[in-house]
Chain A
Amino acid sequence: MRQLLALIRLDLKLFLCDRRALIMLFIVPIGLASFMGSVFSNSGGKSSVGGGMGILLVDQDVSAVSRGVVDAFANDPTFRVTVTNEAAARDMVLNGKRPLAVVLPAGFGADALPGLFDTNRKPVITLLHDPSRSMERSMVEGMLVPKVIQAVAQNGLSADLGRDFIRRGLTNLDRATQVGARDQQLYRSMMERADEFLATRTNRSLFGSAKGPTTGSPAKEFNLPLPFVTKAEALVKNTKSEYNGYAHAFAGMSLQFVLMSLLESSVGLLRERESGMFRRLRAAPLSRGTLLLAKGLSYAIIGLLSLGGCFAFAMVVFGVRINGSWPGFILCLVLTSLMSAALGLALAALGRTPAGTRGIGIAVVLLLLMVGGAWVPTFILPRWLQSAALVTPTRWALDSLDAMTWRGLGFDAALAPAGVMLGFIALFATITWLRFRWTAE
């Protein structure tokens, strides 16, 4: 028993001596859990979409009804609305700067109310969307219904029009053979009472200033039609090919595993140092710069092979195509690999010990992948985090690969991400040069 206790005490002492292990065990999980909680929690009745989904609205009608729809979106904390013209909206969606644009056509306000009763006269709302952002498209499409009905009701449905609506409704009821006799009687009675009420409020708005969104449909059995139809238009540069969701998935997943693999290589580098290998290597007429550069380049080649292999598989098996520029794609692959390798070395320099590097590295890599959009759509992140994503190398790497694959953009679209990634490579290389220790602590 004494021996058992001594052994347990020894392990606990050794563990408590390792400050980095302590940080990993306590502070990192607390930090990550707090972060995830802030992203996904719904505390205080606020929307779970913390930062608001950035969408574009194009109002080609500029009527009271269309302005009402724009205002409804603008007042909804779920969204961050930018009102612009159609050309700008197309450009921003095409380049991945916004997931979606809602185009309210000219005549929308005039056609919306008649569209409730006349199936041949419904205005068409166009949704210009990024084909990789289907989740956002579905969400906006769903939210359009209450917002348009609210706008139509507020701005077009007066008491007189309400009475007209009741008359048309009663006529339709007479034709509705699928509705039972008792239901018909009850509905008719209700509508006649409503008509009596409206008769006392002629020339006045039917619902006044309604607050809050309209919920539910007015009569399930009556099937009140929507006052509009939507037309979705996926925007890709190269119209000859279709969006392939595997392109984005393979970019995200292969980047994730390249980062994880290079993190392990960095841990291996520190083990090499601990094993005395550096003593032998540095006894040769070999500069520190050559040694670090060789490590960085070998890691980058491994990363490049991994990324290239993944995309080759995706091309052969899932039909992923480089719809944009091939030179741009290769440039992005090379820079993504170099950036990942440089990050791995910087983590080795900062982590100092194998255990410390693994701990810090896992936290950093997971954070970069999540914030960079490899796991979850960035619109669900708080707004500040969406802004912060712009300073993560993973975001630029993923954007550049998307641009060159399914977005079908040209070489010029690869230049900005390439420049940013070069900046990150320089930053990580500087950290490595300044902080890497040649002898184990």
Chain B
Amino acid sequence: MSDLLLDAQQLVKRFGPRTAVDGVSFTLRRGEAVGLLGPNGAGKTTTISMLSGLLLPDGGEVRLGGQPITGDTDPRKRLLGLVPQELALYEELTARDNLEFFGALYDLAGAALATAAESALKFVGLAERRGDKVKTFSGGMKRRLNLAVALLHDPQLLLLDEPTVGVDPQSRNAIFDNVEELRRRGKTILYTTHYMEEVERLCDRVIIMDHGRIVADDTLSGLKQRRTSADRVFCELVEVRDGSWLAGLEGIAGISRAELAGTRLTLHVTDLHGGLGRALEHLRRVDVVVASVESQSPSLEDIFLELTGRSLRDG
């Protein structure tokens, strides 16, 4: 069995004059958890729609398990479990009725269907509410049931399209736990979001999209290593009489910028070991006493800003 589960090559999708996805290519290996990151309108949902066969690409090809998806009834679609951004549930039905309906679409029936439904309910922590109508659920519970529906037929690849939108912190943590458990069970996960912290917690690889194109595709550590921005070091000073010594800091090799706000000194350090040592020596010489030192590496947010020139929330 090939290690490669999904292979998307040069995907293009246009809506009238607007090109929503423009030459997107990436692969997913079995058991991998990949974050698809980008602001609203970056083309994430359109990409997910093409991967799951909901939209036909205007260009390029999606291969699932080594074969292209051919038509609506292609049995390879059973390899996929889609958790749509919207709460695609029947509110007037109970949780179990919803699961049994969607399970039947994947040819599950009888005892197998009942077992799958019960297992999915337990997995998302809704077994106690199996007989309650969905309209009585909180937003977070609906999100968890939305996830459970996608797990019924035991898919190999889960496409999660912003699964935590609009949920309370408790439910968000429950969903995180579910995704981490799915990773442990060997499921391949493509997790779409515009929350950095979710990707940093759940994924080992990140694809960053902007304006319909992939601007980066790397592991978290790989992305951080190829940054051009500096680390930041925050020094808490005991007393500051004047700032005449500040200009001297910016002349030190390995320090690109120094800012003073009250007793808090921020150093932008391009050479953490050599530069920081020389800066502390300079402060000692000008009789500035340092009470504490704290360093901060650039976040994914910083990397995104660096790559795209805009914040994730710019939309």
Contacts and interface: CB of A to CB of B under 8 A. Distances in A.
Interface of A: 275-277, 279-288, 439
Contacts of B75: 285
A275 B106 contact: no
Given A279-B88, A280-B102, A285 B78 contact: yes
Contacts of A287: 71-73
Contacts of A279: 49, 54, 82, 84, 86, 88
Nearest to A286: B105
20 contacts: A275-B87, A276-B86, A276-B88, A277-B86, A279-B54, A280-B88, A280-B149, A281-B88, A282-B53, A283-B52, A283-B53, A283-B80, A283-B82, A284-B102, A285-B73, A285-B74, A285-B78, A286-B105, A287-B72, A288-B72
B86 A275 contact: yes
Contacts of B55: 439
Interface of B: 49, 52-55, 71-75, 77-78, 80, 82, 84-88, 102, 105-106, 149
Contacts of B87: 275-276
Nearest to A438: B54
A276 B82 CA distance: 12
A413 B182 CA distance: 64
A275 B75 CA distance: 25
A253 B13 CA distance: 49
Given A275-B88, A283-B53, 7 more contacts: A276-B87, A284-B77, A285-B72, A285-B74, A285-B78, A287-B71, A287-B72
B84 A276 contact: yes
A243 B73 CA distance: 53
A427 to B, nearest CB: 24
Instruction: Kindly name the residue among B71, B72, B77, B85 whose own CB sees the greatest number of chain A CB atoms within 10 A.
Output: B72
Contact of A282 (B54, B86, B102, B106): B54
Contacts of B54: 279, 282-283
A285 B88 contact: no
Contacts of A284: 77, 102, 105-106
A276 B49 CA distance: 12
A262 B305 CA distance: 52
Which 10 residue pairs are nearest across A and B when measured between Cβ atoms? A276-B86, A280-B88, A284-B105, A283-B82, A285-B77, A287-B72, A279-B84, A277-B88, A276-B88, A283-B52
A54 B309 CA distance: 79
A281 B84 contact: no
